[in-house]
Structure 1
Amino acid sequence: MKPTSENHDAIVLGAGAAGLFCAAQAGARGARVIVVDHAPEPGRKILISGGGRCNFTNIHATHERYLSANKHFARSALSRYTPADFLELVERYGIAWHEKTLGQLFCDGSAREILAMLVEECRIGGVEIACGLSLGEVSHADGMFHVRAGHRTLSARHLVIATGGPSIPKMGASGIAYDLARQFGLKVVQPRPALVPLTLPGDEALFRELSGVATPVEARVADGPWGKAAFREAALFTHRGLSGPAILQISSYWQRGTELGINFLPDLAAGWMVEAKKANPKVGLRRVLGAHLPDRLAVALADRLALAGDLGHHSDKALRAAEGALADWRFNPDGSEGYAKAEVTAGGIATTGLSQKTMEASTVPGLYAIGEAVDVTGWLGGYNFQWAWASGHAAGVAIAQNL
């Protein structure tokens, strides 16, 4: 079959959250937009997000809660399209929602409601969503981008890279965004799995025996390459290492060779163990810890601390040392569970080559990069969706203004 040649104002590569929202924004302002994706249907990652209920934004989404080589890059887009703006759209569609914890907003029903809203916004804007098309050659000449997509040949003045990162490859994710960026002369910050469970080496085998045990902690990195960070949420012991919200959060700040500190009792004031001895010198450490921690964890920590017998048998100095260990228990993860279990990809297309206002490449007019493809990574809990909406809005508006 001879390829057909089609002209559009904009071609968006990737029918995920950022791509669909960008297309809808441009389409609503008069641009002729086509969204291309190799998947058989749009928004596959949206559907599995938030346990199927889509944690679609976070009311605390400000640029300070995003990682990037340029920590201020996200400020412009996030300030011009806020969580309140997206929530207004959600409510306009009558989608019921609730705040879970820490500013996280979820659908009461299904993530399909968010996807259906995005698809409808595209329909209203006259956007074509073309799924099931494998991406072929992408080129740029005489101010036009040319894209081979399946049997179709597409041309447009504007091209948007919204293909995400390689996290969750079983959903079809890949690093194609980085290949395209390099093709057009843009730099790429080394991608890495983020919001991902961490694995522990063999010498931490005792903690593997605690698989399935969860407890509130404070997880922190004191000297990581992305600065200090601390998160107070639940940690979960797994057969491979550590997971749970606190660990997923801190994983974005961790790199191999960096120690991870865990405070197992973040709500207890300094000196609590000495006070426990004063209150009941005949109580043992296992029992004291068991009042605050799951039984299996209390036993494991007590055994590691090796304070046998009653607390009254130990000096205040020894108890303070044990207390200090519990407040800063050091782990040395030997890796993570990789892109297969990572919720997002950190790193990506370098912000140095992009406009923070429009997401357009400074050296290639008409080329944009948005969403997870860019070196902007949010915390766990709706932040990455808000970046998808904000960056997609910035690019979509800019495209329409430059028709």
Structure 2
Amino acid sequence: MPGNRVVVYKGPGTVGVETIDYPKLELPDDVVNGLGVPKKAPHAAILKLVSTNICGSDQHMVRGRTTAPVGQSLGHEITGEVVETGEDVLFVKPGDICSVPFNIACGRCRMCNEGKTGICLNVNPARPGAAYGYVDMGGWIGGQAEYVMVPFADFNLLRFPDRDQALEKILDLTMLSDIFPTGYHGAYTAGVTTGSTVYVAGAGPVGLAAAHAAQLLGASAVIVGDMIPERLAQARSFGCETVDLRESAELADMIEQIVGEPVVDAAVDAVGFEARGHGDGAAEQPATVLNDVMTIARAGASLGIPGLYVTGDPGGVDEHAKIGQLGVRIGLGWAKSHSFTTGQCPVKKYNRQLMNLILSGKAQIAKAVNATVITLDDAPRGYAEFDGGAAKKYVIDPHRMVAA
């Protein structure tokens, strides 16, 4: 049996590619021991990775801003070809090309039955919700690899209807595992609809995905804020307005210059807990974006918060930030009757419909996020460039299956 090369966290600022055992149709020990379930997983499938992406959430771990241990496998954005299935898998078969939601879900618990697959109760004994290759998320092996095991395969896998079409559109379809549904979730839960004016904080891949999703939902103006000129240019490349947060002007004033008033109908936080204050060279202020979106969202607005916030941050700016306790102006949000939606995106709620938008040519998500293909061995370089602010979404191609 061959080995399995996988990207691992080697310490703050460093990743490497190591060889581990080829996956088996078995559950992780953390899940088995914590939940008292059988180790054998006849409901699982093994996938050969077609594409797997570097995510900003991975970057938080690699920066040393979580409690991830050295040796943590990485990668939760997975698209692959089924190569083996357990005896209880009925509806996917070897040769199928499938998208894998980053949320691992059993399909059997109360949360899964309510469509809340991001907080499945049966896949992580530590707390609701699990993901591949992520700290404190159940011990599941990461998908920045050559092969990966997917449990509860009939429930979790989204099979593409045509193999050749899927490979042709793989740079768009690879975004279905996380950032396209996550960005869409941010815009949708912010209430974006026909004619809305929208502010998206952050021009990283999730922010760009949220901006593109807002366009698909019918927004009349989408404004993206960031401090990195290349990322702002990427947002403008597909029709967004931008504000440069290095400037000293008030955000509300910059919004007014674009839409004629200092507020928007909907706002999305696609930054999360490593937010910085405004102005060139501003220091980290983790509540900045949350306070920004409350400030510039109109009264009665909804706020979508797909940006990651954690309960343990060793690099937090103070003792409160280290446990995820931030200086949020909740009184402002209360006074304006804002609604907040936080937490992992329940990918399965959106991925089939977004797949259809891609296959019909109506969604151009790879173009919006500037999908850039690298090899598995190039993963360390991809992480370093992404950390430096590259306006790219790095797509790892472990088996050279992505067309040029």
TM-score per shorter chain, which class?
A: under 0.3
* Larger-gyration structure (1/2): 1
Structure with the higher helix share, 1 or 2: 1
TM-score (normalizing by structure 1): 0.27
TM-score (normalizing by structure 2): 0.27
Structure with higher RCO (Cα < 8 A, 6+ apart) = 1
Structure with the higher strand share, 1 or 2: 1
